[in-house]
Amino acid sequence: MSSSVEPARLGRARLAVGYAFLINGVMFGAWASRIPAVQAHTGLDSTYLGFALLAAAGGAVLAMTFAGMLAGRYGSRPVTVAGLLGYAACVPGLALADSFVTLTLALLCVGAFQGSMDVAMNANGLAVERAGTRPIMSRLHGTWSVGSFLGAFVTIAAVTAGLSVLEQFCILAAWMGVSAGVLSRIMLPHRQASEGPALRRPPRRLMALGLMIFCGMLAEGSAGDWSGVFMRTSVLSTEQQAALTLGAFSVAMAFSRIIGDRMTELLGAGRLVTLGAVLGALGLAMALALNMVASAVIGFTMLGLGLGAIVPIALRAGGSQPGISPGYGIAAVSTMGYAGMLAGPPIIGTVAGVVGLRSALALIVGLLVFLALAAGRSVGAPITIPEPAVPTELL
């Protein structure tokens, strides 16, 4: 089959992979909005709930490398579809769980399928990007962020309509199943196997990218989990102001990802990560130093703007390494990113117990300074999409 892709087919493929990101984001937002209801149903306290929630991230980390190998061998499209179908099958189990053990098992399965879908759809997005003439990875992640907001509104609508958690999740599972059938027909078919053994130590360049995304997602997870607590306990804000701070951070990240592809073309990937890390460090430092509501909201907004482009850039670079499949490269980088997301909140909490939350969050400022210094070498040459060709095997 020819390596070129017809413009109409490429347009459908671009919409399809964007729709996959949207679905993934909607499900995340819907689940996150229903966590309090599930906690009440299972009767778990915050400690047990926290350990149960870790199972989702743990399942994703365990499944990602395997999913990357499958995407390289069989193609990113079937792995994306299979991940979505498995995700749909497991979602009702979250509502049916009635204990710590059953909720943990349900979240472990959901995390594994969600993580598999995450790796495969990113590999497919990279293939679509290579088939076109402009970068789209950052915009795809912006679509995921929009989906997470829509998921929260879906839950609001479900609660208003009097739907139970199980009824809502069954409806969403049915929608996911139908969507899997649609995606199986219109996503871009692509496969690129790795050279050499499937299981081996990641190249040094891939490890550097993994460290970059580890730093970015550690900062992102810490800000998401601790910004509200910081506002309430250190700045002494109201509950509404704390929610506004988190909302501003999330919206800024989504906006940064939507414009991130254009900024990558203008500035280059390494320079964009460097400038974003500097902006984020300055914003968080201002929020911590001035100790006022307005400066904190502005500071966390700057942090969101700075962090937004890091994950798409790292995943694009990870999936573009010579000699390895995009799925394997993305899986290796994603696994380190998820590790950062997992490690950040407990690290900040432990340090805060010793020196206070303000000083603990200052560690994130130092981490972003390190990221700004190391980003150029980690990412390497600016990302360019020189010609409308697919450097992969089309099935």
**193 within a domain of the structure (yes/no):** no
Helical H runs in the chain? 7-42, 46-74, 76-96, 100-131, 137-160, 165-186, 204-233, 239-258, 260-267, 269-290, 293-307, 310-318, 326-355, 357-379
Show the CA angle centred on residue 393, arms to residues 335 and 322, nearest 5°.
50
**387 within a domain of the structure (yes/no):** no
Structure tokens, 128: 């679509």
Q: Are residues 141 and 173 in the same domain?
A: yes
Q: Are residues 208 and 118 in the same domain?
A: no
Tell me the C-alpha distance between 70 and 64, whole Å.
10
**29 within a domain of the structure (yes/no):** yes
**Please, which residues have CB within 8 angstroms of residue 245's CB and are 6 or more apart in sequence?**
227, 228, 231, 237, 296, 297, 300
Q: Are residues 30 and 143 in the same domain?
A: yes
Show the CA angle centred on residue 19, arms to residues 14 and 23, nearest 5°.
155
**395 within a domain of the structure (yes/no):** no
Q: Are residues 178 and 119 in the same domain?
A: yes
The angle, 0 to 180 degrees and rounded to 10, between the axes of the packed helices 100-131 and 76-96 is: 160
Tell me the C-alpha distance between 358 and 230, whole Å.
7
Tell me the C-alpha distance between 52 and 124, whole Å.
31
Q: Are residues 75 and 117 in the same domain?
A: yes
DSSP three-state, residue 191? strand
Decide: 76 and 328 in contact? Cβ < 8 Å: no
Sequence letter at residue 302: M
Question: Taking the alpha carbons of 272, 330, 345, 86 in that order, is the dihedral positive or negative?
Answer: positive
Single residue among 186, 217, 249 that ends a domain in this structure: 186
Kindly report the backbone phi and psi dihedral angles of residue 321, in degrees, each rounded to the nearest multiple of 5, phi listed first: -80, 140
Residue 251 structural domain = 204-379
Q: What pTM does this model have? A: 0.80
**159 within a domain of the structure (yes/no):** yes
What's the burial of 226, exposed, middle or buried (CB within 10 Å: 0-12/13-18/19+)? Answer: buried
For the chain, the residue count is 395
Structure tokens, 239: 């509950």
Can you give the pLDDT of all 395 residues of the chain as single tens digits?
334 668 788 889 999 999 999 999 899 888 877 888 888 899 988 678 878 888 888 898 889 888 888 988 889 999 999 999 999 999 999 999 999 999 999 999 999 999 999 999 998 999 898 888 788 989 999 898 888 888 888 888 898 999 999 999 999 999 999 999 999 999 998 766 544 444 555 667 788 888 899 999 899 888 877 888 888 888 988 877 887 887 888 889 889 999 999 999 899 989 999 999 999 999 999 999 998 999 999 999 999 999 998 999 999 888 888 877 788 888 889 888 888 887 787 788 888 888 988 999 999 999 999 999 988 777 754 444 444 444 444 44
Closest CA to 213 of 326, 50, 29, 379: 379
Tell me the C-alpha distance between 143 and 138, whole Å.
9
Cβ neighbour number for residue 353 with a 10 Å cutoff: 10
Q: Are residues 219 and 108 in the same domain?
A: no
Counting the structural domains of the chain, the total is 2
Bridge partners of 33, per DSSP, are: none
Q: Are residues 163 and 219 in the same domain?
A: no
Q: Are residues 37 and 131 in the same domain?
A: yes
What is the structure's pLDDT at 200?
53
Q: Are residues 177 and 238 in the same domain?
A: no
Q: Are residues 126 and 273 in the same domain?
A: no
**2 within a domain of the structure (yes/no):** no
Residue 41, CA distances (Å) to 47, 160, 382 in order: 16, 19, 50
Tell me the C-alpha distance between 1 and 176, whole Å.
31
**323 within a domain of the structure (yes/no):** yes
Decide: 217 and 125 in contact? Cβ < 8 Å: no
CATH at residue 361: 1.20.1250.20
Q: Are residues 272 and 153 in the same domain?
A: no
**291 within a domain of the structure (yes/no):** yes
Tell me the C-alpha distance between 54 and 316, whole Å.
26
Q: Are residues 112 and 223 in the same domain?
A: no
Kindly report the backbone phi and psi dihedral angles of residue 236, in degrees, each rounded to the nearest multiple of 5, phi listed first: 60, 45
